[in-house]
Amino acid sequence: MNKGLKYGLLIFGIVIITVVGFIGFGLYSMEIEDHYGDLQKLYYESENGDIIVNKTTSEFGLIEKNWRRINIRTQKKDSTDLYNWIYQNGSENKTAIYRVKTGEIELNGTTYLEVKKMIKKSELKIVTKN
C-alpha cells in the first residue's frame, strides 16, 4: 500500500468514528430530554450524593445518579425516579438541590428540620432549583 492510500484510510476512519460519536451523543442527549423534559437542567447539574429538598411536601433525599437516570433515596423509599419524585399527584412540586460543602450527610437519623438548619447555617450550597 502506498503512503497516500494509508493516510486516506486513516482520515476516513477518523471521520467515521467522529460521525458515530456525534450521533451517539445526540441520541444520549435526546433520551435525557425525552425522559426529564424541563427537568433536564436538574439532571445535568446534580451529582451523586447531593441533597434534594422537596419544599412542597417537606421531604428530602439523596441523589443517586447514573449515566441515564437520577434516583432519589429517602428514608421511606430506597429508590424513586427524579421525575416521579417531583411530579407527585399530578402537580409539580418546588424542589432545590444542595451540595454539602464539607463531608457527606447521613440519610438515616437526619430530619427535615436539621436539613433546613444546615441550609440556614450555609453548610449546604445550592446547586439548582425549579
Q: Are 112 and 54 found together in one domain? A: yes
Q: In whole angstroms, give the CA distance from residue 56 to residue 41.
A: 20
Cβ-Cβ contacts under 8 Å for 118 (sequence gap 6 or more): 105, 124
The pLDDT tens digits along the chain (130 residues) read 788 999 999 999 999 999 999 999 999 999 999 988 888 888 899 988 889 998 888 889 899 988 889 999 888 878 888 888 888 877 888 899 999 887 777 777 788 888 888 888 888 888 888 8
pTM of the model: 0.79
User: Which residues are bridge partners to 62 per DSSP?
Assistant: 51, 73
Q: Are 11 and 73 found together in one domain? A: no
Q: In whole angstroms, give the CA distance from residue 45 to residue 126.
A: 11
In the sheet that holds 95-100, the strands lie side by side as 80-81, 70-73, 59-65, 51-54, 95-100, 124-129
Range of the domain at 44: 38-129
Q: Are 33 and 45 found together in one domain? A: no
